[in-house]
Structure 1
Amino acid sequence: MTIDMLVVLAYFFFLIAIGWMFRKFTTSTSDYFRGGGKMLWWMVRATAFMTQFSAWTFTGAAGRAFSDGFVVVVLFLANAFGYLMNYLYFAPRFRQLRVVTAIEAIRQRFGKTSEQFFTWAGMPDSLISAGIWLNGLAIFVSAVFDIPMETTIIVTGTVLVIMSVTGGSWAVVASDFMQMIVIMAVTITCAIAAYFYGGGIGNIIDKFHGNFMLGNDLNYVSIFVLWVVFIFVKQFGVMNNSINAYRYLCAKDSENAKKAAALACILMVVVPINLVFTALVCKRIYA
């Protein structure tokens, strides 16, 4: 067993331990679903930021940056725009809903029928999305560690279920915070190393094969501009609705919700750019 495998296994045990340690924090429905509304901004920031990250970020997004340059950053800038709108308007108002779950707000506003419809209608999409994320992770793990994809999906899914069921929202937010720390440390370190190894930002951009800003094989710039506009509109809707308000229901108060949104906005700009920058240097080395 390699050191890499030991690190992964240790992390899995750590996640299970988080759920076990935080089980005593969950004494009511409010504690389980939103931490009793007692979490500070730096904890809420982590879960708000990590909800927009998945295995695809480090595989699909990095691969797109490798082939097409800066264009993939538009997706993350759209996320940052969504968080900016959270900060300016929506985050404190989401916190002021005074509900335990986001779906409860739908019940209060539109009635029980709408609540049931949104609950059941959203389940297939949630299951498919989770399956896609796990499948992306399994593909990467299979290539790096030579572990069957089915094993990765089953083990990872089981660990996450155990952690979330035993520890509730406290355990989930704590694990999100640890993941955020790891991601920041890895991406910033790699970006610094890539900067010096690649000879600076200007040198890397000059050596890029193709159009650095628009990507390759683009026939009409107007199509790209239209895509950017609609990506921003889409992410604004995705990140500023009552269904996704759960990330701010955990906050201690409206001010903590605003701070969490502001920091998530900053991280959504810094971390993806570091990731893309590293991918571009890798293209110079291996392409």
Structure 2
Amino acid sequence: MREIDVVFDPERKLFLYFGITFLAIGVGPFGTYETMSLWQRTVFWSLDILGCALIVVPIVHVSYHSRFLKFLSSQPRFLFGVVLAALPAAGYISVLYGTVGNKLEITTPFPLLYVQVTVFSALLLLTEFVLWPKLFGNRGGKDAPTQQLSASLAPDTALSGEIHRSPGDTIPLMSRLPEEVRGGAIVSISMQDHYAEVTLTSGRALILMRLGDAIDLLEGCPGARVHRSHWVALDFFETIEKRDRGYRVRLKDGRELPLSATYLEAARQQLAQFSRAETV
């Protein structure tokens, strides 16, 4: 599991959380079937599951996309959010048991309840963010608008002949993009706030993802990170130019991106190696 796709997909949440709520109302787990009427179970499990979701989901989203936790990879950020969110959720459940259904008392010690809520929340959220996309597809760039490139960015013949990897080849990141742009080749990726803007010869798409996580999904697509906010495919590198006190990378589509000193030497080496490989 290399990537946990924590995106806000209302349709996914609606079907998943309401589905579990209706299942709990019908089955009546933890003694609620014997001690509560159908109406009481409806009130109790709606408040329990949907109420906990309102607590846990925002905290996990904030934790996963927090700029203060960028030093962590996606999995630790996700787990940190779950562990943090389970504490108020467990407290909410403790209060709920004493409020709805007088015949139902919670006997589980709070530390154990906290662990149970943590495990259940992790399983539910992994279902939402990992299993659901595998079964039903990923919204990918649909979480943000897709932008068409100008004609100068993606000429039909000028760039297509220089691509060393056909657009149909499997690049994991492609599955996150809207279908209308998947036929192109990836040119660059740049960060726009919390979104990774993927530029292809066929268009642009925004994905709610960190740049490092997007790069992890570029297996088989040679490229170099040139800045904390920019990555460029080696197929579309043209030159590295000195500008005043800094450096710029010129791409074959005419754009220029900043090249920071941190990535300068590595970018030069990768570009040189790629150029030698082309001539062999």
Measured against the shorter chain, the TM-score band is under 0.3
Q: TM-score, normalised by structure 2?
A: 0.24
Q: Which has the higher contact order (CA 8 A, sep 6+)?
A: 1
Q: Normalized against structure 1, the TM-score is what?
A: 0.24
Of structures 1 and 2, the larger Rg is shown by: 2
Structure with greater helix percent: 1
